[in-house]
Structure formats: C-alpha cells, structure tokens
C-alpha cells in the first residue's frame, strides 16, 4: 500500500511540475493548514519574518464559492531580499518570497513556489548571483521542514 501511495505521489508530482518549469512542487503528508503552520515555524526559526498568510479558501467561502484548501505564506529576510532588489528593483514584484499549499482534486496536499532563478530572467539579476543560490537553498530547506513527516 505504501509503495502504491509513493508511486501515486511521484506521478502527481511529475504531472504538476510539467505545468511550469520554474514552479517547484513538493507533496506534503500534512493538511494544508498544518503544512503552512510548519512552514511558519521553520521561517521564524530561521530568523525570517512572516509578512502575510492568506487563506484563499476562506476568501472564496465569503463570496459563497467553493475552493479546496489553499493557503499562501509570504515571508522574507531583508538580508537576503535587499541584495536581490539592489540587483533588479522590479524583483519587488516577486519578493518577499511566497509559498502556496493546496489540496488537489484527489485530496493530496502540495506546496509550490517559484524557483528563485526566475528572478534572473524576469528582473535582470545575474544568473550566477550568490543571492539566488542562497534563496534556492533557503526555500528548499524551509519547505522540506514544512513537509517532513
């Protein structure tokens, strides 16, 4: 049974990643709310600041529409974000960083975020900028903590 679940997760993950090459998607065994709670803990534990938590499903419910559980967390650290903004001020459109957790039609929860290297293409930040490597490592580490069993 566990093998079947892992295969299903792998197939879902590969299908989801095909949507956009710059979109990093990871499965979570936790609910959307718990996944985001765990991400908040990881972010704050790393010394970064949470700027916003948006519950899109709650927003939909307020206008009598349905949406599967979907929450977005916006967070950052000026020590990391400021150098990116200095390299390309339009990066302010994509910073602070954002991660979304959502439940798909099969009840599987995922987290997703844009790969930081997209800041290079979109905002003219040098592709080899150290800040992009640091952001990539930080997002990977933080999201892995959020989805860990």
The pLDDT value recorded for residue 15 is 45
The pLDDT value recorded for residue 120 is 86
What is each CA distance from 18 to 1, 93, 96, 111, 117, in whole angstroms? 26, 24, 25, 15, 17
Range 32-35 contact pairs with CB under 8 angstroms and sequence separation of 24 or more? 32/69, 32/70, 32/71, 32/101, 32/102, 32/103, 32/109, 33/69, 33/71, 35/101, 35/109, 35/111, 35/146, 35/147
Given a cut of 70, the residues of the chain with pLDDT beneath it are 1-21
The pLDDT value recorded for residue 7 is 42
State yes or no: cis peptide before 96, omega within 30 of 0.
Answer: yes
The pLDDT value recorded for residue 3 is 47
Domain boundaries, the chain: 2-147
**Top-level CATH class of 2-147?**
alpha beta
The pLDDT value recorded for residue 20 is 60
Return the bridge partners of 24, or none: 113
Task: Record the pTM.
Answer: 0.84
């Amino acid at each position: 049974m566990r093998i079947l679940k892992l295969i299903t997760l792998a197939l879902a993950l590969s299908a989801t990643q095909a949507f956009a090459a710059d979109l990093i998607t990871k499965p979570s065994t936790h609910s959307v709310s718990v996944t985001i709670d765990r991400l908040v803990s990881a972010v704050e534990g790393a010394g970064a600041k949470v700027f916003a938590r948006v519950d899109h499903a709650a927003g939909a419910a307020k206008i009598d529409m349905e949406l599967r559980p979907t929450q977005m967390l916006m967070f950052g650290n000026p020590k990391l974000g400021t150098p990116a903004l200095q390299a390309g001020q339009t990066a302010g459109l994509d910073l602070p960083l954002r991660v979304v957790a959502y439940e798909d039609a099969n009840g599987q929860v995922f987290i997703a975020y844009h790969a930081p290297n997209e800041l290079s293409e979109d905002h003219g930040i040098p592709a080899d900028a150290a800040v992009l490597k640091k952001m990539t490592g930080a997002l990977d580490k933080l999201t892995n903590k959020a989805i860990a069993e």
